[in-house]
């Protein structure tokens, strides 16, 4: 098997749709030569309660294009966000009566996987059994690489990102979340959830995606938990995936004029810091961010330049900070997934997932624990 031939096996691809049915169908069509007729491979399209006719269009297309032997539609009972929607497919795949897939490929609907993209991730994990998560090289449709590999955030990276002042940025370069672009396969703290392949054992050991994150920060949290459990993450340059970015959410950090960040982004941010670092660290992060944004705003106004932050960012930061919202976070058992006290592969652990599964409709074929930095 090789990336050139696109041959893979025992992979479940999860494509989560929310009101972008055309993009989702184009993504699945690009997967057909990589997935169809491959042993143990299939695609699950989860419609995240779009409410715009997307589910019906997806079901009709699967039938009309004769994809039903390797692709199926699952309707989520509600739009619970990115983690919830992906778990709708991942949970029964791991807990069902049949053989569980060895790898789970989370793929955004606004992506175009290049030929061999899935095989590159699959082959890397096959030949590196110590690696738990592999992420793709994301690029614009014209092939221009953009950021998809990151360092874990810290109080220093938050200060740097919010302040945006050259001398300080150079001083804090080792903490930049997005390191300089390189085109080589290498280990990294976390990869973008737009295209990431996760070894089954990772979910069995650390749990599924944390559904308390509506959108954003859930893949950082997963990679954190995987790292703690001894499963490193790698960026695999041979897996090339074009990404349109933010087609469902409308939040794109590369926009020249950045719209206001939605409340769920701030709530996910707050949960991430509290869950993974504790209350004192989260307070330090919020203070660094507030001071950084305030100083950046003052500097841009004095210089007559445009504020690089999203609209109302300073006020929203304060409103969603631990100083205003407190330090309580709703706990979900390490990602609403498997019982971490069970051994990986234990049938009891897989049954535990089913017990927590929400009701979904499938189309017929045809306290907070601080973490180290």
290 located within any domain: no
Residue 337: predicted pLDDT: 43
Alpha-carbon torsion (347, 352, 353, 354), positive or negative: positive
Q: Read off the pLDDT of each residue in 251-267 and give the average, rounded to a whole number.
A: 77
Residue 335: predicted pLDDT: 41
287 located within any domain: no
Percent of the chain beyond pLDDT 70? 83
Residue 252: predicted pLDDT: 54
Residue 89, pLDDT above cutoff 60? yes
215-219: long-range contacts, CB 8 A cutoff, minimum separation 24: 215/81, 215/82, 215/249, 215/264, 215/265, 215/268, 216/82, 216/251, 216/264, 216/265, 216/268, 216/269, 217/268, 217/269, 217/271, 217/272, 218/82, 218/83, 218/193, 218/268, 219/190, 219/191, 219/192, 219/193
Residue 255, pLDDT above cutoff 80? no
CA distance 102 to 121: 12
pLDDT tens digits, one per residue of 285-319: 999 999 999 999 998 888 878 888 999 999 999 99
Residue 352, pLDDT above cutoff 60? no
Q: What is the mean pLDDT of the chain?
A: 87
Q: Read off the pLDDT of each residue in 96-101 and give the average, rounded to a whole number.
A: 85
Residue 307: predicted pLDDT: 82
User: E strands of the chain, at which residues?
Assistant: 11-17, 42-47, 71-75, 103-107, 111-113, 133-139, 149-150, 186-188, 190-191, 195-199, 233-243, 361-362
309 located within any domain: no
Q: Is 85:48 a contact under the CB 8 Å cutoff?
A: yes
The CATH number of whichever domain residue 106 belongs to comes to: 3.90.550.60
Distance of CA 145 to the CA centre of its chain: 18
125 located within any domain: yes
Q: Read off the pLDDT of each residue in 254-270 and give the average, rounded to a whole number.
A: 85
Residue 77: predicted pLDDT: 94
Residues 6+ apart with CB under 8 A from 59: 73, 363
Residue 148, pLDDT above cutoff 80? yes
Residue 4: predicted pLDDT: 42
Confidence of residue 256 (pLDDT cuts 50, 70, 90): low
Residue 348, pLDDT above cutoff 80? no
Residue 177, pLDDT above cutoff 80? yes
5 located within any domain: no
Residue 170: predicted pLDDT: 94
Residue 344, pLDDT above cutoff 70? no
Residue 257: predicted pLDDT: 67
Number of independent structural domains in the chain? 1
User: E strands of 207-290, at which residues?
Assistant: 233-243
Higher pLDDT, 301 or 2: 301
158 located within any domain: no
Confidence of residue 248 (pLDDT cuts 50, 70, 90): low
* Structural domain for 56, as ranges: 11-146+181-247
Residue 28, pLDDT above cutoff 90? yes
102 located within any domain: yes
346 located within any domain: no
The model carries a pTM of 0.85
């Amino acid at each position: 098997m090789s990336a050139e031939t696109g041959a893979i096996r025992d992979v479940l691809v999860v494509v989560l749709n929310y009101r972008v049915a055309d993009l989702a169908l184009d993504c699945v069509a690009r997967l057909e030569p990589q997935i169809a007729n491959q042993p143990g491979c299939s695609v699950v399209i989860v419609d995240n309660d779009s409410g715009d006719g997307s589910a019906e269009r997806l079901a009709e297309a699967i039938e009309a294009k004769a994809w039903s032997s390797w692709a199926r539609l699952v309707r989520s009972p509600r739009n619970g966000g990115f983690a919830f929607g992906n778990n709708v497919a991942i949970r029964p795949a791991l807990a069902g009566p049949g053989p569980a897939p060895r790898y789970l490929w989370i793929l955004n609907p606004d992506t175009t996987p290049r030929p061999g993209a899935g095989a590159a991730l699959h082959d890397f994990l096959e030949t590196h059994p110590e690696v738990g998560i592999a992420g793709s090289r994301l690029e614009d449709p014209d092939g221009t690489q953009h950021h998809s590999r990151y360092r874990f955030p810290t109080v220093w990276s938050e200060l740097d990102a919010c302040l945006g002042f050259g001398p300080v940025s150079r001083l804090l370069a080792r903490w930049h979340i997005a390191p300089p672009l390189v085109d080589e396969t290498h280990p990294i703290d976390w990869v973008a959830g737009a295209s990431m392949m996760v070894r089954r054992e990772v979910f069995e050991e650390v749990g599924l995606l944390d559904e308390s994150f509506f959108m954003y920060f859930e893949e950082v949290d997963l990679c954190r938990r995987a790292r703690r459990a001894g499963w490193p993450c790698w960026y695999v340059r041979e897996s090339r995936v074009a990404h349109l970015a933010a087609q469902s959410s409308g939040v794109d950090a590369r926009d020249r004029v950045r719209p206001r960040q939605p409340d769920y982004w701030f709530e996910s941010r707050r949960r991430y810091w509290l869950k993974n670092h504790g209350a004192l660290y989260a307070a330090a992060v919020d203070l660094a961010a507030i001071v950084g944004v305030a100083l950046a705003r003052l500097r841009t106004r004095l210089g007559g330049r445009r504020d690089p932050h999203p609209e109302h960012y300073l006020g929203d930061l304060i409103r969603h900070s631990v100083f205003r919202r407190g330090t309580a976070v709703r706990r979900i058992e390490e990602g609403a997934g498997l019982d971490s006290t069970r051994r990986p592969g234990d049938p009891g652990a897989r049954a535990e997932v089913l017990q927590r599964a929400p009701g979904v409709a499938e189309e017929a074929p045809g306290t907070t624990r601080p973490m180290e930095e």
